[in-house]
Chains A and B, each alone.
Chain A
Amino acid sequence: QITLKESGPTLVKPTQTLTLTCSFSGFALSTSGVGVGWIRQPPGKALEWLALIYWNDDKRYSPFLKSRLTITKDTSKNQVVLTMTNMDPVDTATYYCGGVIITTTFDYWGQGTLVTVSS
């Protein structure tokens, strides 16, 4: 059974750095073709892709947020970590991690975690 779960702070202050962890099971990030990424969704708004890391450590970032994002993986712990610097209230959103596992797109998703940016 494949599962992903996001964890991290629910509240961050403006200018702070957000660190989110995606813990997963049921697949290995060392398997060829597999990737884990992050997608966010502001309240009442659309999905926005943020970043993706592949089994071979190939990293992709949204060009709109690239300067603020870093994605890393710890294959031994089955975790992927996303950091986003200089948080702003407009970054308030539910942050999802998603796996590119069976298909060519995000086929498995975590439940999401709501992050609020406020002083």
Chain B
Amino acid sequence: AQKVTQAQTEISVVEKEDVTLDCVYETRDTTYYLFWYKQPPSGELVFLIRRNSFDEQNEISGRYSWNFQKSTSSFNFTITASQVVDSAVYFCALSEGGYSSASKIIFGSGTRLSIRP
């Protein structure tokens, strides 16, 4: 069965600090997809990244970076030089491969990130 664990319920850091959000997943499939979404205070869900299970390359996008490690079933998200606008709830999500995988994305419980000026 699928499961996504985000053990950090809330994180608060001072602006310009680096912060890492942890995500640990469980799946029996060899083909699966991992995602990160951002939910700012306005409430919409913003897609950040998708990663295929066959692609373990880490990814960097500006101040954001993602570390995917199959050996530890983790897909961690780091924000470098955090800014107040990064304050949001961040969700990690997992979907197993298969015909209906696009519709069965399972979410973690989210990490509320607060960046203090």
Same complex for A and B? Answer no
Residues of B within 8 A of A (CB): none
